[in-house]
């Protein structure tokens, strides 16, 4: 990373954000996840959201292929999920991880703060990322506290 990139990363890190895990299915049916903090609501009237995914992430091509995904906004007890799914190489999901089916082959993390089931609507390439706009098919939430990402730490 150049010093400019390091400074940029550190500067963005000053803003606390929520953390989510986007889940897709691999060709063999295994659940694949990626930790993200680039996600936001697009529309309530036409229920939709936007995520920004690096073209180099394995999840990128899985979203393009599946055209659907789960999005679990993590609660403050789910730091381990955020850490695991940010790893470059993820072999088997830890046995203690609990994912549940939300319908149509879409899995989400049990007890996460918000659970979205999404169908891809539109995608556009921007630099080294793709913006994926998805229709929200289902949403559940509970009253737990959000996990935060601040200054490169999960809080
Ligand atoms: C807090 C946090 C937020 C992240 N947000 C994003 C994001 O919004 N988009 C993205 O493409 N990668 C993001 N990443 C990096 C991915 O989680 C990481 O590159 C992961 O290894 C990609 O997994 P995959 O290649 O198996 O899909 C984030 C990582 C962390 C720790």
What's the CATH code, domain 3-148? 2.30.110.10
Question: Using a 6 Å cutoff on CB, does residue 19 contact ligand 1?
Answer: yes
Q: Which two tokens stand for residue 44?
A: 């309530």
Give the atom of ligand 1 at the shortest distance from the alpha carbon of 35: 17
Q: Hey, what are 64's tokens?
A: 């393009």
Query: 9 alpha carbon to ligand 1 midpoint, in Å?
Result: 13
Q: Is 88 in the pocket of ligand 1 (CB under 6 A)?
A: yes
Per DSSP bridges, beta strands 17-18 and 148-150 are antiparallel
pLDDT tens digits, 48-102: 999 999 999 999 999 999 999 999 999 999 999 999 999 999 988 999 999 999 9
Nearby residues of 30 by Cβ (< 8 Å), 6 or more positions away: none
pLDDT, tens only, 132-143: 999 999 999 999
Region 100-114: what's the mean pLDDT? 96
Is the C-beta atom of 55 inside 6 A of ligand 1?
A: no
Q: What is the bridge-based pairing of β-strands 31-36 and 20-25?
A: antiparallel
Q: Give the ranges where the chain is alpha helix by DSSP (H).
A: 3-12, 58-66, 79-85
């Amino acid at each position: 990373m150049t010093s400019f990139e390091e400074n940029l990363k550190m500067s963005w890190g000053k803003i606390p954000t929520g953390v989510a895990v986007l889940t897709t299915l691999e060709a063999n049916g295994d659940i694949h996840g990626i930790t993200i903090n680039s996600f936001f609501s697009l529309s309530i009237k036409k229920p939709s959201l936007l995520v920004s995914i690096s073209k180099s992430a394995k999840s990128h091509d899985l979203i393009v292929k599946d055209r659907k995904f789960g999005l679990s906004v993590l609660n403050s007890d789910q730091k381990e999920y955020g850490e695991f799914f940010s790893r470059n190489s993820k072999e088997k999901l830890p046995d203690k991880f609990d994912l549940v089916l939300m319908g149509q082959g879409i899995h989400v993390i049990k007890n996460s703060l918000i659970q979205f089931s999404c169908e891809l609507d539109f995608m556009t390439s921007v630099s080294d990322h793709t913006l994926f706009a998805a229709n929200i098919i289902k949403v559940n939430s509970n009253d737990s506290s959000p996990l935060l990402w601040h200054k490169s730490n999960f809080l």
